[in-house]
Every structure is written in structure tokens, then in C-alpha cells.
Amino acid sequence: MFSPTALRPRYAKWLIATGLFLVLSGCVDKPNTLERVKEDGVLRVVTRNSPATYFQDRNGETGFEYELVKRFADDLGVELKIETADNLDDLFNQVGKPNGPVIAAAGLVSSEARKKQVRFSHPYLEVTPQIIYRNGQSRPTDAKDLVGKKIMVLKGSTHAGQLAELKQKFPGIEYEESDAVEVVDLLRMVDEGQIDLTLVDSNEVAMNQVYFSNIRVAFDLGDASNQSWAVAAGDDNSLLNEINDYLDKVKKNGTLQRLKDRYYGHVDVLGYMGATTFAQHLQQRLPKYEQHFKTYAKKEKVDWRLLAAVGYQESLWQAAVTSKTGVRGLMMLTQNTAQAMGVSNRLDPKQSIMGGAKYLAYMKDQLDESIQEPDRTWFALAAYNVGSGHLDDARKLAAKEGLNPDKWLDVKKILPRLSEKKWYSKTRYGYARGGEPVHFVANIRRYYDILTWVTQPQLEGNQVAEGNLHVPGVDKTKPNQETPQL
């Protein structure tokens, strides 16, 4: 038998060996953040659901921040997964959580308080905080003019911090912070007179001012600041270094500037082009494409004049045009839509009209059977513009409000709410410029009415000069949204 004393040296050696193994095992490096992203094949990013950051339109996912971070994910060779936060506080709390987003890309400006939570990348966009007021009201010219005004800003924003500092100097300044709104809501509230003032960044004003005719910039509050991405606090610089290299690269190769120009350089808006201009285009442009409209409208069982009205709204009957969002051609088809409709060359007007006719017919076929004409046509046009997903969201909201989800008159009241956070946060597809399909449909109905009138049998041909049109056809005032039925 072995004595206990004989076992002690062996046991001691075993303990030493085991201890060394455990120590050495602990020294094995764990993968850093960048390595984990590449191993998982997924880049998780948290952002805001807003027009300046991330939202969905008929082209799919879009937004300045989305475009920028999608290119970064592509550079890494990984899939991009977007999460949206309900508010800014929630956004910062999500960064770096286990299995959570590793980047916050949401138009963020650094501050001393935020630097305690996260680390910021190199800047990519310079913005200026601006006080916004309503046209027709007294224009504030400096900070002391904010006293006594009804002001609202985003909860947890740097703008709230700016106002807090001003309040120390001017105690009469009162303001409300809200996490139930987005910037677009604040601008709308000023536009409608619900609040007197708000404070937002200049890029958000540039993007949205065209949609709110009453808002004006009163003055810049403080110096320009820079927007950056944020990563979790700590000593792991692997992802942050990669981000900085990427941002430096896109700034140098022009990609960043192209995105700035696309989203902030020139923001277009749907609108009534004027009956006089329309009459001129009837004479100069429509004859070149009229037969194509008639041929493919007949094939898809739609009114050729309605199809022509869509073409005019989309491109003013111009074949070789490309929008800032990448849709192209006379009927302004996206690449995916063109491919699905069998269009190989979007700039070929014949193919474009064929694709537009098929897509409009497809949109109409996808609608619920409960939607009858003429509402079915208006719904199809709205889906053509904003996408069927957002249209379904609006119909569901309409039903919850006690309205008829099968009637255009009811649903068009709801669609603009898709740009308000308190409404789109309850939907499946989120933010949309819901006012656009309303204007889109109204304009097309107007163009359709004029086309219907000028193509009546008693008129000879389609060469219609302004002088030969009756007043109802060329009324230069902006038309009412409700026009005669199909």
C-alpha cells in the first residue's frame, strides 16, 4: 500500500501542473470586437427611425446613416442588421450590450456626458444647431428672445443640454424634452403653430424644410459641431480604428460628399407643376410616347391616360432622367422593379412604359378584394409611390381610428401620420414620408382629368396649345385634391 506521505509529492506536482494549465488557458487572447463581427458575419447597428438616419421607402431601406453604414458592412464583408431605438437614451444604453449593437449610427454629436458612455469616431458631417420658428411670428434674434416661448426638443439630445446652459443665464427660458417625437415631428409642430420654437441641426432642417412651408431659421445657436458614430466604452479599439479608417477613406474618395449631396444638397418634393407647363408638355412631349402608353395600357387593362399621368408625375415625360435615389427613366422604375417587370434598359421609353404599366397593374392586383373602384386605382397609385407595406400600415391605422380602410378619402387622412413617431412606431414598416403618396395621387388625378378632357372625341388630335384649352383645363390655381372619379 502507498502511504499518505508517498502520495503528497505526486499530488503537489498535479496541483502545480493543473494551476499552470489554468493560468496559461487564461492567457489565451479572446477575440476583439472586430474579430467577433467578422466571425459572426453580422454588423449590428442601432439607429433612429427618421428621414435623416434610417427608414424604408419604395426603394427599400434608405437614409443617410443607413447608406453610410451599409457601405462599411460591405467593406467588412458582413451582413448589416439594423435595430432602431425608441429614444436617444435607449440608443446609448444599447451600444455594447452582450449580443447587441456594436455601433450607434444616428447623427450623434459628442458631448462630455456622452463620452462617459461611449467613444466617438472621426467626424463625417458638420452641422449647426438652429432655432426654428414659424413664418408670420416674431423672429427671435438671440438667446434672450427665447424667454416666454413654448419650446420643445428631443429628450436626451445635445440641444436639451444647450438650452439647460442658456437657462442658467436666462432663467425665464422654459422648454420641454420629449421622447415621444422625432425631429420631423418638432418641425411639423412649429409649422402648425403647436409650439413656438424648436432647436434642431441644420442638416435636418435642409432635408425637411421643403415639406413644411411655414418653418424658418431664426438664428444659429452656438458653433457648428460634428456628427460621429459611437462604439462602446473600453480599451478595445479594433472596431473604432476600422471605422475611422473607413470614414477617412470615403471622405477622401468622394463617397461621403456624394451621399451629402444626395440627401442634403437638393431635396425635391412632389408638387403641382402648373397647368400651363402641363399644356406645353402635352404639345411638345406626349406625342412621342402616346402610342406606347396606349399599347401597354391596353395590354395591362389600365386607362392609357392614367398611365400617361403617372409618367408625367414621375418624369415630366422625359426618358433619360435619374433621380437622386437611383430610380430611372420615364416611369422612374427602381432597379429591382425593372428587373421584376422584365425591363432591361430603364432609359428606353418603350420598355419603361411597359414596365410601369405592368407594375401599376401588379400593385392593383395585390390589393385586397374588399377595395373597389375607383378607390382601388387610388390605392394602387399610392402603393406605386410609397410601397404596399406602408400602405398596409396606413390602412391598419385607419381601421383602428374607426375609419374605412378600403376608402381612399379615409386612408389619405392617415398616411401623413407615418412621418410622426407616435404613429409610425406602432407600425410594421416604420417611418415613411406619408404625405408624398397623398400629393402623388392628387397630382395624377389632376393630370388625368386634363388628359381625359383634351382627348375627348370632339377634339381633333393631341396637338393642344394653351390658347385652345378651356379654362377648366388650364386653371392655373392649385387644384383641390378631390377631382372627378375615374
Active site residues: 314
What is the grid cell recorded at 406? 378600403
What DSSP assignment string belongs to 399-468?
A: HHTT--TT-HHHHHHHGGGGGSHHHHTTSSS----THHHHHHHHHHHHHHHHHHHHTSTTS-SS---GGG
Helix or strand (DSSP H, E) at 253: none
Residues 282 and 459 sit within 8 Å (Cβ to Cβ): no
What is the grid cell recorded at 407? 376608402
Strand 42-47 with 79-84, pairing: parallel
**Burial of 394 by CB count in 10 Å (0-12 exposed, 13-18 middle, 19+ buried)?**
buried
* Measured CA angle at 239 (ends 235, 243), to 5 deg: 125
Residues 55 and 420 sit within 8 Å (Cβ to Cβ): no
C-alpha–C-alpha distance, residues 314 and 262, integer Å: 18
Q: Where are the alpha helices (DSSP H) in 200-303?
A: 202-208, 238-252, 255-260, 275-284, 286-300
Rg (CA), the chain: 29
C-alpha–C-alpha distance, residues 279 and 464, integer Å: 7
Phi, psi of 230 (to 5 degrees): -130, 145
